[in-house]
Structure 1
Amino acid sequence: MIDALVKKLKGELVQTHASWVILTEDFAYKIKKPVNFGFLDYSTLEKRRENCLREVELNRRLCPWVYVGVLEVVKVNSEYFLEGEGEVVEYAVKMRRIPEERLMKNLLDKLTEEDLRRLAKHLFDFHQRAERKDEFGRLELMKFNTDENFMQTQKYVGITIEEQDYNFIKSATEEFYKKYAPLFEKRMKEGRIRDGHGDIRLEHVAFLEEGICIFDCIEFNERFRCGDVLNDMCFLSMELEFNGREDLAKVYEEEYKRLSQDPEFDLFLPFFKCYRAYVRGKVESFMLDDPNLSEEEKQKHKERASKLFKLSRKYAESLV
């Protein structure tokens, strides 16, 4: 089916662990794979339909110009079509194709301080109108997330993360919970827990003619998308610093802090950046177990994971 659609659309196929993406000159068509990773379940056609619809709905909040809608993939005899009469065999999210040169990851040497202030305001305004999700601000849930990270990375100790760094980050995280437990409750009551984006990285931000577009949010798992607004916004801070643009990260953070008037901003920011860097280090470590990758590719992921864990350690040091 996928090969037939690629040929029919005269497109290029890109794959992720969870989706097939067919790229044409003007559009991208994302079809979800029938997989179940526990935290992500696309195992049935109905679940794939629901997640396609949710993806469009959620992403239009921060990027209304890109998400066109959900198309049916139909089968007629032995042929496959996007839309039309026939047996519905899949669903595809249709998006405008974003030019590579408009992506933030490719603009790091061109962005101005004003661009970062605009981005901070765009995100702050979104957080202000996003639905409150107080239950995702509970300390117990945040601790579940960090405990999961430490459990899942034990096997990489001595490979991508040094044992002393693993122990230090884990200890600093536990101490933060003990010391500031009442503040998690306070932030919930103040409405700082929202249905956010969950994955604001450099490759998910584009500067378009219509405005700033933050796309590809996490639609498949509320636990990864909903939470403290600082946890949402700081993912980008961490990525900027990881890529050597501490200056841009500082402007972005200072503008968000000014707009939010958050009294715990400076306290929680390094805690959440520590968490985000660790998550990325974990994901890069997982790539070492992918049988489809060459040893050269695995080495690149290993080096990247090690650098991310070192950055997480750096953030953890400011917590103690």
Structure 2
Amino acid sequence: MSPSATMAPGEAEVVAWLKGQSERTIETACARVFLAGEVAWKLKRNVDLGYADFSSAARRKWALDRELEFNRAAAPDIYRRVRAITAEPGGGFVWEGRGEVAEYALEMRRFDDGAVLSNDPDAIDGAMAEALGRTIAGFHARAPLRPEGGWSALAFTVGSNAHLLRDLTGGLDHHRVELLVARTAEELARRKTLLEARRDAGFSRRCHGDLHLANILVEDGRPVLFDCIEFNDLLSDLDVQYDLAFLLMDLDFRGRRDAGVRVLSAYLDEAARSFPGALWEGLAALPLMLSVRAGVRAHVSAHSGDLAMSRAYVEAAIAHLSPPPPALAAVGGFSGAGKTTFARAVAPALGASPGAVVLRTDEARKRLAGAGPVDRLAPETYTPEFYARVYGTVFETARALLKAGQAVVLDATFTEPELRARAEALAAECGVAFHGSWLEAPAEVLEARVGGRVGDASDATLQVLRDQIARHGGQATGWTRVDAAAPTGEAAARWLKQLDR
């Protein structure tokens, strides 16, 4: 019988009292949320679902206290306090009266349901995807360490997925489920050493645990993470990359690889400011993590009665375990040529989901200087030694990603022949395909773009651009020339079509 079908003794009276004060009630398997004016009250159901036990008042109070604590880390303005509902001697209930406690509820500030990203995934533009990646990386960097998590938490979910999906074979294809279960177990075993090393390096932390689009809203133009998992440490004490993988899988499933790869690239750039260098190597486990997250959604969808969606998630989970080989692309050109826009346009079509990580020398430069992503650096920072260090960092990062199976797009001027040769040599060293592009446009177009930049990582000025043209204009690069004056989408589509020949 479903949790909504029956209520424990006394539960119905409290629910009726809260409904009487509310405009609308939202029902889930674990809770009820009562919306009243600018307030929302959350009541845990009196149920034991196996993975979540709320069958006693003490357990429900414990869960609400943790929910308050955990969610304040990301959404302090939404989660307010846990309050007691007490029984009046003559009947009825009040908030925190003198009578016996009948139940506990979590008080939250009500927010606009329409602002939740799952309602309109197509509205996630580049700026929002960038903000999502950096916001999540900051949340993870501040999260408490959890050395008990990591591989063991992922192994728990792999086992749970297998059990729950096998129970659903009356509505799912038995052979496809068994294929997924077997291949997931094999990949988990193959990545155990890597995942345990990441745990020991500090990548296992108290995470959100349920980080998909339905648990992210936008307020004042900023993403806000809410409704994290509090009731089971095996579902919240995770490798941070596995936490991020839920959002990446969700975007991929909804046909938004463009947003997913922007999220991932921004996340990695921001996380590299706080986490050790093993950050990049961990991408080898991303296909497994994406698959496990799709497996979670498969059984959740089936239990919600949507078998067609469940089957689609099973197929997605299987596909993630057979990622295409990585490739290295390099996008060069003078300042203002639109390299970053072009790189981001082609990245979703390269390599495994969500696409190629875009590595910008402009962003690496800011990281190495200890500056924010769009802070301007003083001109004296740009020494030959610093220039060489920035390129060296980008090439080493690309090497780590390629060896982890992740495609990469290098976004830099690449005006020197030595640097272009170095990019080609890196691809050969890693045994991956190389695609070099040189973006060009008339000088007046480049100058207009450089002069109009706002809020970008590039510090290039009109004088920098003019110096580039004077020193390197008219050179033959040997890379595919791209008309950067044309609309980026058209130029990227033509470039990608050439790759398929």
TM-score if structure 2 supplies the norm length?
0.58
Say whether the 8 Å CA contact 2:180–2:314 is kept in structure 1.
no
1:3 to 16, 19, 24: 16
Counterpart-to-counterpart distance in 2, 1:179 and 1:75: 56
In the alignment, structure 1 residue 113 sits paired with structure 2 residue 126 = yes
Structure 2 counterparts to residues 199-210 of structure 1, below 5 A: 199-209=210-220
Paired amino acid for 1:79: G
2:258 aligned with 1:241: no
Name the amino acid aligned to 2:313. Answer: L
Partner of residue 75, structure 1: 87
- Greater CA deviation, 77-86 or 214-223? 77-86
Q: Does 1:180 align with 2:186?
A: no
Distance 1:171 1:4 in 2: 49
Give the Å deviation of 1:256: 1.4
Superposed structure 1 runs of 4+ greater than 3 Å apart: none
Q: For residues 51 and 140 of structure 2, what CA distance do their matches in structure 1 show?
A: 24
Residue by residue over 1:108-142, the C-alpha shift from the partner in whole angstroms, topping out at 9 and shown as x without a partner, is 2322211111111111111111111111123x553
Greater fraction helix: 1
Q: Greater RCO between the two (CA within 8 Å, min separation 6)?
A: 1
Match in the other structure for 1:270: 287
| 1:242-267 superposed Cα distances (whole Å, 9 cap, x missing partner) | 12212111111121122334222431
Deviations 1:264-315 (A, max 9, x none): 243111110100000110112223xxxxxxxxxx3xx111111111111110
- Is residue 5–residue 80 contact of structure 1 (8 Å, CA) maintained in 2? no
- Distance across 2 between alignment mates of 1:317 and 1:226: 27
Tell me, yes or no, if the aligned pair for 1:65 and 1:210 is still in contact at 8 Å: no
- Structure 2 residue aligned with 1:191, among 184, 202, 205? 202
Q: What's 2:111 paired with?
A: 98
2:176 corresponding residue in structure 1: 165
CA–CA separation in structure 2 for the residues paired with 1:16 and 1:2? 14
**Aligned pair in 2 of structure 1 residues 124, 141: CA closer, same or farther (>3 Å)?**
closer
Describe the SS at the equivalent of 1:90.
strand
User: Alignment length, in residue pairs?
Assistant: 305
Q: Could you tell me which residue of structure 2 aligns to residue 24 of structure 1?
A: 36
* Residues 128-167 of structure 1: pairs in structure 2 closer than 5 A: 128-138=141-151, 140-157=152-169, 159-160=171-172, 162-167=173-178
Partner of residue 302, structure 1: 307
Question: Residue 47 of structure 2: SS of its match in structure 1?
Answer: coil
**How many Å separate the matches in 2 of 1:48 and 1:310?**
36
User: What is the CA–CA distance in structure 2 between the aligned matches of 1:98 and 1:82, rounded to whole Å?
Assistant: 22
Moved more, 107-116 or 245-254: 107-116
CA distance in 2, matches of 1:211, 1:281: 30
Equivalent residue for 1:57?
69
Unaligned residue ranges in structure 2 (runs of 5+): 1-13, 273-278, 326-501
In the TM superposition, what whole-angstrom CA distance separates every residue of 1:172-196 from its partner, at most 9, and x where no partner exists?
2233234333212210121000010
State how far apart, in whole Å, the 2-side matches of 1:286 and 1:165 are: 18
For 2:22 and 2:51, the matched residues in 1 are separated by 33
The higher radius of gyration belongs to 2
1:62 shift after superposition = 0.7
Alpha-carbon distance, 1:319 to partner: 8.6
- Sequence identity, in percent? 27
The one-letter code of the counterpart of 1:215 is: F
Kept in 1: contact 2:87–2:97 (CA 8 A): no
Whole-angstrom CA distance in 2 between matches of 1:191 and 1:111: 31
Q: What is the aligned partner in structure 2 of residue 290 from structure 1?
A: none
Contact persistence 2:156–2:234 (CA under 8 A)? no
What is the root-mean-square deviation of aligned Cα atoms in Å? 1.9
Length-normalised TM-score, structure 1: 0.89
Residue segments in structure 1 that go unaligned for 5+ positions in a row:
288-297
Residues 42, 105 of structure 2: 8 Å contact kept: yes
